Amino acid sequence: MFSTAPVGRAFFDTDLRYVRVNDALAEMNGLPAADHIGHTPEEILPQIGSAVAADLRTVLQTGEALADVQHSGHTAARPEERHWRMNYYPVCDASGEILGVGLVDVDETALVALLESERSARERAERAERRASLLAHVGNVLGESLDYEETLSRVARAAVPDKADW
């Protein structure tokens, strides 16, 4: 369950040190799994490690899971901005004592890029729709009258709301 998971998985002890890391998380972090063991998130992930450590502390203090925590930053694996959705949960022994914190980490960089691309495409489509609407309206105004001054005044009134809302 741990080693073959397609998402990043880790177990931290109560000192917030990596005890176990699967290959998927090691690949995300850009370091072999063995290089994580005994180190803190701040040592492995300089850019987001303090935020991860804060999340781990919260789980240790409250004994409750944290779900869908989003973090963004860089790792040794890749210098470009990455995005992760992390889920933390307490790991307890049979008596209920907290032994550490488990982590499930999903790299959502591709999803974030897709959503940004979709947002950008939507904005371009909305701008194109506004331009087409303005051109259609101006076309109607131009065809309504042959009086030069009246037509010019109507075209200006049609263009002002879109171009100069103040």
pLDDT digits (tens, 9 = 90+) for 67-111: 999 998 887 777 788 889 999 999 999 999 999 999 999 988 878
Please state the domain extents for the chain.
Answer: 8-107, 116-161
Can you give the pTM of this predicted structure?
0.69
Q: How far are the Cα atoms of 19, 29, 148 from residue 94, in angstroms, in the given order? A: 19, 32, 88
| Coil, helix or strand at residue 47 | coil
pLDDT at residue number 93: 94
Spatial distance between the Cα atoms of 87 and 67, rounded to a whole number of angstroms: 4
Element of type H or E holding 12: strand 8-13
pLDDT tens per residue, range 96-106: 999 999 999 99
Laid out side by side, the sheet with 18-21 consists of: 18-21, 8-13, 98-107, 82-92, 66-73
* Burial grade of 75 (CB within 10 A; 0-12, 13-18, 19 or more): buried
Q: How far are the Cα atoms of 32, 69, 83, 104, 156 from residue 88, in angstroms, in the given order? A: 22, 8, 16, 7, 59
5 vs 104, which has greater pLDDT? 104
140 vs 32, which has greater pLDDT? 32
* CATH superfamily of the 8-107 domain: PAS domain (3.30.450.20)
pLDDT at residue number 164: 64
What is the secondary structure of 128-151 as a DSSP string? Answer: HHHHHHHHHHHHHHHHH---HHHH
Q: Beta partners for 106?
A: 85
pLDDT tens per residue, range 6-51: 899 999 999 999 999 999 999 888 899 999 999 999 999 888 899 9
Per DSSP bridges, beta strands 82-92 and 18-21 are unpaired
